[in-house]
Structure 1
């Protein structure tokens, strides 16, 4: 890289990093990276927005793709030079494939897409990333921004259906399903909420100890005006009859019994206390204190 700077940057005096006279824990940077950063400081001091400065940001990014200052400076150069931002999307795609959980990359892509005001490439791009890691938090956060910003709701439920068919334990897909139902501009009907409760119940039967569909169904019920937690009693009893021990089902029964106990049912109060004891002593001992607290609430 030394020859690169000698040929292209002889008009600038590089500015080395200054950690003071006696740095406590100096970082042993790669020699090429240190040299590139020294020239970057000189460029930034001049606020130079040129082709060579753009090229310099790429060289630094390839050494350190998490350097947010470099990404921000690159944005300023791209916009000032009116560069082809679709080519920049291709560059970002290559970077994300190698660094899929790099926040700075995802933010840079969002800035570029906003500038283009064109989301046509984004859902296929995110799908590709999720195919390698279906729980990539950054990809999901970005996907939600794209869908909400550009009103791309129509096919998202089918996309999530496919993910949950592949892996019912994909908590990120469950979160996305909730986002689709409640964060678009259309208020969900009670009919849709009832369908979603049944959808969740069907998935629970596939993996009774998977907490995600339990939380999803409870979240749907909490938003419904017509359903309450007792709608899950049949499911919990069915699992019990099949001798399937699910502490999520038992915990759900505690919720059901408590709701009835508050309305004066002594029988449900006693059932709730008994179930809390069962969870505390046998089936969910790691949360023993929590179930003891729930028992005290019932008493």
Structure 2
């Protein structure tokens, strides 16, 4: 508990963004409530809700960094505790903002779902999570689905597709693996990835916008590589797979000014982050040991991911 309290305090004092202020005022609201100062507690609750409103609006505009997302989730959970203890207050305003924070959670749960898919042995809770049909955004026709989010590096639409792609990865002994229905699902996802459009938050000719586009494109290429190799089972040397990997490598070499800090797309094509380097090295070892006979990439993913102490986070 002391470690958790210390973490919350550090998160709230990390900067002066609305997300940090929301967490800071939520802590103050709980503190004053504990001291019996109801007026001060309600005042800080109102300030926390106001800052959280600004943060959720930034989420909707696609302008929220990962650290701020965590601060907003912490503020939301603290306000939940405050509302639980404050029987005289209304929980309506908090509930509205909590829905926005749930959207933040869904963004990051998408990539945890990927880790859970390849983690063995699975716990009951992990099996339930992996089986969930997660919807990151219900606004199917909203143009915001195409905006590249700072907190994820790609668009909501791509995250939705990635959830469906993970669901389409079946065990090789599954009776539905490569059945006509399974192949139709894979082909549909492949076409949707090909038609996907991802738009920077602010259109310009700046280096930052170009990096944003390239990172989002790297996500798209990684999603397609994963779909074809894991769901369809294409070999590493397949011409389509080779072409996709070549495109991803070209992006990595082209954008040397701003290095990519996103583990998931780097892990799928290739990368050099500490976690990614460890995972790729373990994958290479397993493929080398297989010799000329080759190895099923499903076995490689399962073994490499399960070889870590806890399921890796690719956010």
TM-score range, shorter chain: 0.3 to 0.5
Structure of greater relative contact order (alpha carbons < 8 Å, 6+ residues apart): 2
Name the larger-Rg structure.
1
TM-score scaled to structure 1, two decimals? 0.34
Q: Scaled by the length of structure 2, what TM-score is found?
A: 0.33
